Amino acid sequence: MRNKQIYLDNSATTPVDKKVIKEMSRYYSEDYGNAGSMHDLGLISDNVLDSSRAKVAKILNADSEEIIFTGSGTESINLALKGLARKLKSKGNHIISTTIEHPAVLNTLKSLKKEGFEISLVPVEKNGIISSDKIKSAIKKETIIISTIYANNELGTIQPIREIGSIAKNKKIIFHTDACQAANSEELDVKKLNVDLMSLNGSKIYGPKGTGCLYKNNTIQLDPILDGGNQEFGLRSGTENIPGIVGFTKALELAQNDKKKYSKTLTELRDHLITGLMQIDRTILNGDKKKRLPNNVNITFLNIEGESILLKLNEYKIYASTGSACSSRSLTASHVLLAIGQSEKAAHGSIRFSLGKYTKKSDINKVLKVLPKIVKELREMSPVHMELKDLK
């Protein structure tokens, strides 16, 4: 009964698509040259690097020289925010972001604060959506950067990136978005979205871990954050990870080519899961019902610790999470759930189910079969008693 695993933690990481593995394999042991070497093997790698850059640029509606390959989404974010802030420090020191950003953004901003930058974190609405008007109101004469997440990694809420980008453009402020969670289902055309900098990674799109890229509008200059050689236009030193870059590129192509089918299938499964889970009493759906990723279900069960639910689900080989994998071992309540107005007690009872392209309806039905029993059992053991009315 419990032999088959059900993986519902795709927002943390995804399995690598077999098509991606096939594309990468030859660059490990056949065409393994350093792209900077002036011999045949090196030139093969250099040509593959150029080809991959052109393919990613086409997907983003950008120029090839605007694509910088990195080792992760986190590195991309650090390069974008630190590189730009340090370059523009003489023009201003104010950066605007939001209270529901990924730790990669929030901790980068904490670091910049120590360097003398002023950080404004705009609060979000209770449905987990950023108000573009609040972003506009936070702008000062000294504002040099606005950075907002495209799709939140915990709630799955999709933000009004195009509108925020338009505000930034009108005010001549550079706009960055963390699009790591959005690439499977959302538009990535940087011109339509009005973005100047966009961070992406491979592990969320069925590509290899340790890969990512930064789109950087070619009118923008950055200070590098790594010292070394002159790779990636002098902005990302280190021997290029050709197999990883090839894998990332293939994964991004597949994700964007399949996004309509992916969205339709997963929206149906997501809504089926939400409908079933909401039959359990004292249950809250976190985040907007409609403006959310097709694969995300973030739900709170009052009077239970989320970690206890995960351990019980794990016994059935059902794998989910309590929020961001980057902070999942922390005992503190999710900063995202606190930002949308949940109490700390309630936030500790939250679970994130993130579906993937290999999820089946039978997987969802299995969750709906075992989870009500788990909730009932854990509530009978819990000393805490909260009702929905207590949260109002």
The CATH number assigned to the domain holding 316 equals 3.90.1150.10
Same domain for 182 and 316, yes or no, is no
Taking the C-alpha atoms of residue 217 and residue 145, their distance in angstroms, rounded to an integer, is 14
Assign 1 a pLDDT band (cuts: 50, 70, 90): very low
Taking the C-alpha atoms of residue 27 and residue 148, their distance in angstroms, rounded to an integer, is 35
Segment 32-59 shows an average pLDDT of 97
Segment 171-180 shows an average pLDDT of 98
Same domain for 23 and 84, yes or no, is yes
Instruction: Bin 172: left if φ > 0, else alpha if -120 < ψ < 50, else beta.
Output: left
Same domain for 240 and 301, yes or no, is no
3-class SS at 273?
helix
Same domain for 322 and 245, yes or no, is no
Q: Which of 284, 326, 338, 368 is catalytic?
A: 326
Same domain for 385 and 280, yes or no, is yes
Q: What percent of the chain has pLDDT over 90?
A: 91
Q: Which residue among 232, 257, 282 closes a domain?
A: 257
Whether 327 maps to a domain, the answer reads yes
Q: What share of the chain is helix, strand, coil (3-state, %, to 5)?
A: 45, 15, 40
Domain boundaries, position 348: 6-14+259-391
Same domain for 343 and 251, yes or no, is no
Same domain for 68 and 30, yes or no, is yes
Rg from Cα positions in the chain: 22
| pLDDT the model gives residue 271 | 98
Q: What percent of the chain has pLDDT over 70?
A: 94
Q: Which residue among 230, 257, 284 closes a domain?
A: 257
Give the CB-side neighbour count of residue 275, counting CA atoms within 13 A: 8
Q: DSSP code of 203?
A: T
| pLDDT the model gives residue 2 | 45
Of residues 293, 264, 56, the one with CA closest to residue 158: 293
Tell me the pairing of strands 296-301 and 283-285.
Answer: antiparallel
| pLDDT the model gives residue 346 | 87
Same domain for 270 and 382, yes or no, is yes
Same domain for 217 and 290, yes or no, is no
| pLDDT the model gives residue 109 | 98
Same domain for 167 and 210, yes or no, is yes
Same domain for 245 and 375, yes or no, is no
Q: Rounded to 5 degrees, what angle do the CA atoms 189, 125, 326 make?
A: 65
Taking the C-alpha atoms of residue 362 and residue 34, their distance in angstroms, rounded to an integer, is 46
| Helix or strand run (H / E) with residue 48 | helix 40-60
Segment 176-195 shows an average pLDDT of 98
Whether 1 maps to a domain, the answer reads no
| pLDDT the model gives residue 330 | 55
User: Is 180 noted as a catalytic residue in this protein?
Assistant: no
Same domain for 60 and 91, yes or no, is yes
Segment 328-350 shows an average pLDDT of 84
Total number of domains in the chain: 2
Scanning 89-239, the segments in alpha helix (DSSP H) are 103-114, 132-138, 161-170, 190-193
